[in-house]
Amino acid sequence: MPAPIRLRELIRTIRTARTQAEEREMIQKECAAIRSSFREEDNTYRCRNVAKLLYMHMLGYPAHFGQLECLKLIASQKFTDKRIGYLGAMLLLDERQDVHLLMTNCIKNDLNHSTQYVQGLALCTLGCMGSSEMCRDLAGEVEKLLKTSNSYLRKKAALCAVHVIRKVPELMEMFLPATKNLLSEKNHGVLHTSVVLLTEMCERSPDMLLHFRKVCLLVPQLVRILKNLIMSGYSPEHDVSGISDPFLQVRILRLLRILGRSDDDSSEAMNDILAQVATNTETSKNVGNAILYETVLTIMDIKSESGLRVLAINILGRFLLNNDKNIRYVALTSLLKTVQTDHNAVQRHRSTIVDCLKDLDVSIKRRAMELSFALVNGNNIRGMMKELLYFLDSCDPEFKADCASGVFLAAEKYAPSKRWHIDTIMRVLTTAGSYVRDDSVPNLIQLITNSVEMHAYTVQRLYKALLDDISQQPLVQVSSWCIGEYGDLLVSGQCEEEEPIQVTEDEVLDVLEGLLVSNLSTPVTRGYSLTAIMKLSTRFSSINRIKKVVSIYGSSIDVELQQRAVEYNALFKKYDHMRNDWYFPLPALLERMPIMEKTASNGPTEIMQTNGETEPSVPDTKHLPLVTQPANQANDLLDLLGGNDVVPVIQTTLPTKPASAGGELLDLLGDLSLSGGLAPAPSVPVSQPPFLLDGLSSQPLFNDTSAAIPPMTAYSKNGLKIEFTFERANPNPNIAVITIHATNTTEADMTEFVFQAAVPKTFQLQLLSPSSNIVPALNQGSVTQVIRVLNPQKQQLRMRVKLTYTHKGSPVQDLAEVNNFPPQSWQ
Amino acid sequence: MQFMLLFSRQGKLRLQKWYVPLSDKEKKKITRELVQTVLARKPKMCSFLEWRDLKVVYKRYASLYFCCAIENQDNELITLEIIHRYVELLDKYFGSVCELDIIFNFEKAYFILDEFLLGGEAQDTSKKNVLKAIEQADLLAEENRPRQFFFSLLS
């Protein structure tokens, strides 16, 4: 049989293939030749054949039939055979297959070989892919080599020991004696790998850490070595751009970090050297900055004195001005980590951070944005908001949703004046209106309602915005709601803040009707405008026009609109007195909404208080607030929903009882336009007609694209039940918005209720403020909280939750895994 | 370091070194996805990206991308230096290394890498030492060559 072709020859031949098919043919032919060669047990060419097989494996072709051949090569006496054999083992074998165990004996022999390069091959292979069984068998050999005086072998043994410890942590102890004088070596290779080994041991075992800290007094030794590196003159062997062995320096700094963490003495012992490295390291090249970066990480993590911390943050500040974008990226990431603990120090670099918003790199921009929001406070809100709004104008769409949410949150927390707040919101709505989260609409409406003195100004500005552009749905929705509420102010030209505009009732109605017919309006928006038009029937005098519009939509194809129109029609015909009644002194159906009070200062869920009654408001879910106390007025409300006159969905269910239930009806109707769904009906004893409730709740009013991700029970134990409902945040489909509803079936309240959640590393979690801290007993109400989960890899959603509360005087804590997320929530 | 990949601008794999145990199928999937992600990056972007729960550091040298996946506590900037050191070693060994050298001598590229890194960490921080070790090992391999060759020349 002719000698098998050489490796280079094969590579050359395969590269001439012009198509995938041609390549495959060549490969198959060669594989067949190699297979027969293997069958003939040809020792001479085995090495060449396996090498060729490895090449073909890299191209993506199967090569498992070469595994045993690799073992034969390893067992051979020839160095060339061993070299290729071990390489093949590392590439083709893995610890899942039993075949790899056959290597163990060969490796053991080679670890004791007379030639150090063979020993090196064995150590390398073991340290790269040794399984736990192999490591257990061979740990003794590795430990022996760790004590040898041959630095070539010692350095490899150290890294091999790291791998052994990772695979079989219990074996860590046996390497302890060998580490005694590792750091007194002169050889940098041994020093570097020893530091890696010590780092691994300290990270894995707190006992080891203590031992190294107190008994071996590692810190002074490391400080000494580091000092020598910095002070010593030019050493050509280890020099990189004028810095002596930066790899070793970085590794030592990292070990110091672990030793100094939460230990005052150690931290103090390293203060000086850290300051020295921080001030003396050359920053013109990447190497120097790599060392500075590690130094900063160490300073921030140990118990360093404040001067040193300020120094560290200043280094990061300088990094931000560096031309190298990698350095800027690293700086922003680090600053984000420290902004909570060293807020004031980071504030000093605020302007540089804000400049990074204009960077070209996407990752840098994102970090700058996150950091900017973290730095906003009452003092800098005006300036910061200007920059952030400018950023919102010009940034990529992927940022707009998060930026808009951030702006809203910051504005809510720190707005210097109501007018500023409303102006800011207007700006966001007009520039990034289609990217704001859906729950911003109810939040904004509530904010506007509460700014009583700004009503005229707000409605005027919103009206003008509508004239310009009706494509951005959140803006349109808020505007129509406001016009519906405050249309009278608009028409009467009462604005104080700016020049009042002259608008007639007909013009306003033109605009609203325009929304109803426009192709740009979503069904939700149409719902808003129809309701707004209806409300204007009590504020405007052109009632006939409104009546006409309402009756036209009574036969609309859109069932939601149809229902509304029919109900409003009924108000005109049968219940005109309820719209605006002069007989009854109580407030009527379509009058001005009262001020809604907020309990939490931020967060999208609030509790609305009207007429002294509290109702949980949950805008994210498709529910109506439900009055929970058994007052007679409340019962009238529920009767309205369907006590006696139970009728099918599309007809109105207004009872014969007059406006004594007016106050609550008012909220009912107002909230229909806000969240347009039904509340979860807890155990309030009232006859609930199946039709109406089912009918309304089956129609998704918000966010049609999210179509029914089924809710799920995440937790149910000891009377506490937590349900998750889902929504997709438009336009980013990678963000799932989950609202938790916590209810309590026991007879005692659960107070100081805190819900915490953790997700796997590939996800990001944002927990917004809860509606309250008390889960009332007997399902009389619920605590709601919004969770936003970013899932860019579309991996299966998993969550760990921690619940703490006080029940009947004693604290309760529980941890649970939530794994039963419906697939639609993360796909 | 969890793994290192070398690939061309067309996405062809030139070297793969895995320091974590994964099945062949998983390796192929990771390689495919990561190569795609890195090749999609624009030149003005920085050398780091977050991918799954790892940090990825990559740098392009001529027509080859050098891509390393490191853990969260690892220093990205020094990883760039590690990559650079490896390229310098290749350059010294092959004399002005280019992609073709690595294609035709892939096994040597592996040998050099295995002399520089072990288990994902640097064994020796001296360029000279690493190159010397490779040199010696190569000599040892040479000694294994069949002697007949010399005799046939002489006779």
* Total CB pairs under 8 A between chain A and B: 163
* pLDDT recorded at residue A255: 95
* pLDDT recorded at residue A827: 67
Tell me the whole-structure pTM to 2 decimals: 0.69
- Cβ contacts of A11 on chain B, cutoff 8 Å: 103-104
* pLDDT recorded at residue A707: 52
* pLDDT recorded at residue B93: 96
The pair of three-digit structure tokens given for residue A617, joined into one six-digit string:
């408001």
* pLDDT recorded at residue A500: 78
Q: Which parts of chain A have pLDDT scores under 50? A: 581-587, 599-706
Q: Give 3-state DSSP helix, strand, coil % of chain B, rounded to 5.
A: 50, 25, 30
3-state secondary structure of A657: coil
* pLDDT recorded at residue A360: 80
Taking the Cβ of residue A450 and every Cβ of chain B, the question of whether any pair is shorter than 8 Å is answered with no
In angstroms, rounded to a whole number, what is the distance separating the alpha carbons of residues A695 and A769? 31
3-state secondary structure of A749: coil
Q: How far is B155 from chain A (nearest CA, A)?
A: 23
Q: Are B90 and B102 in contact (CB under 8 A)?
A: yes
Q: What are phi and psi of A584, to 5 degrees?
A: -95, 130
The number of C-alpha atoms within 13 Å of A677 and in the hemisphere containing its C-beta is: 19
For residue A212, the 8-state DSSP code is: I
Number of residues written out for chain A: 827
Number of residues written out for chain B: 155
Distance, C-alpha A786 to centroid of its chain: 13
The pair of three-digit structure tokens given for residue A84, joined into one six-digit string:
């290729």
In angstroms, rounded to a whole number, what is the distance separating the alpha carbons of residues B33 and B26? 11
Taking the Cβ of residue A160 and every Cβ of chain B, the question of whether any pair is shorter than 8 Å is answered with yes
Amino acid symbol at A488: D
In angstroms, rounded to a whole number, what is the distance separating the alpha carbons of residues A578 and A666? 10
**Which tens digits make up the pLDDT trace of A708-766?**
678 888 888 888 899 898 876 555 677 888 888 898 888 888 888 888 888 887 888 88
In angstroms, rounded to a whole number, what is the distance separating the alpha carbons of residues B11 and B65? 9
> What is the C-alpha R_g of chain B?
18
Q: Taking CB atoms and an 8 Å limit, are A83 and B125 in contact across chains?
A: no
Helix axes A79-92, A116-129, angle to 10 degrees: 0
Q: Shortest CB distance from B140 goes to which of A58, A115, A163?
A: A115
Query: E strands along A697-763, which residues?
Result: 712-717, 720-728, 735-744, 750-758
* pLDDT recorded at residue A608: 33
In angstroms, rounded to a whole number, what is the distance separating the alpha carbons of residues B38 and B43? 10
In angstroms, rounded to a whole number, what is the distance separating the alpha carbons of residues A537 and A363? 52
In angstroms, rounded to a whole number, what is the distance separating the alpha carbons of residues A709 and A726? 6
Q: What are phi and psi of A282, to 5 degrees?
A: -65, 130
Q: Taking CB atoms and an 8 Å limit, are B123 and A329 in contact across chains?
A: no
**Which tens digits make up the pLDDT trace of B71-116?**
989 999 999 999 999 999 999 999 999 999 999 999 999 999 999 9
The number of C-alpha atoms within 13 Å of B28 and in the hemisphere containing its C-beta is: 9
DSSP letters for A234-276: --TTTEETTEE-HHHHHHHHHHHHHHHTT-HHHHHHHHHHHHH
Q: What is the 3-state secondary structure (H, E, C) of A552-592?
A: HHCCCCCHHHHHHHHHHHHHHHCCHHHHCCCCCCCCCCCCC
Q: Taking CB atoms and an 8 Å limit, are A327 and B119 in contact across chains?
A: no
**Which tens digits make up the pLDDT trace of A380-404?**
899 899 999 989 988 888 888 889 9
* pLDDT recorded at residue A580: 56
Q: What are phi and psi of A758, to 5 degrees?
A: -135, 145
In angstroms, rounded to a whole number, what is the distance separating the alpha carbons of residues A49 and A36? 11
The number of C-alpha atoms within 13 Å of A532 and in the hemisphere containing its C-beta is: 32
Q: CA distances (Å), A184 to each of A194, A261, A633, in order?
A: 10, 24, 85
Taking the Cβ of residue A83 and every Cβ of chain B, the question of whether any pair is shorter than 8 Å is answered with yes
Amino acid symbol at A4: P
Longest dimension (CA), chain B: 65
Q: How far is B53 from chain A (nearest CA, A)?
A: 5
In angstroms, rounded to a whole number, what is the distance separating the alpha carbons of residues A144 and B118? 18
Q: Are B121 and B86 in contact (CB under 8 A)?
A: no
In angstroms, rounded to a whole number, what is the distance separating the alpha carbons of residues A362 and A247? 29
Distance, C-alpha A542 to centroid of its chain: 51
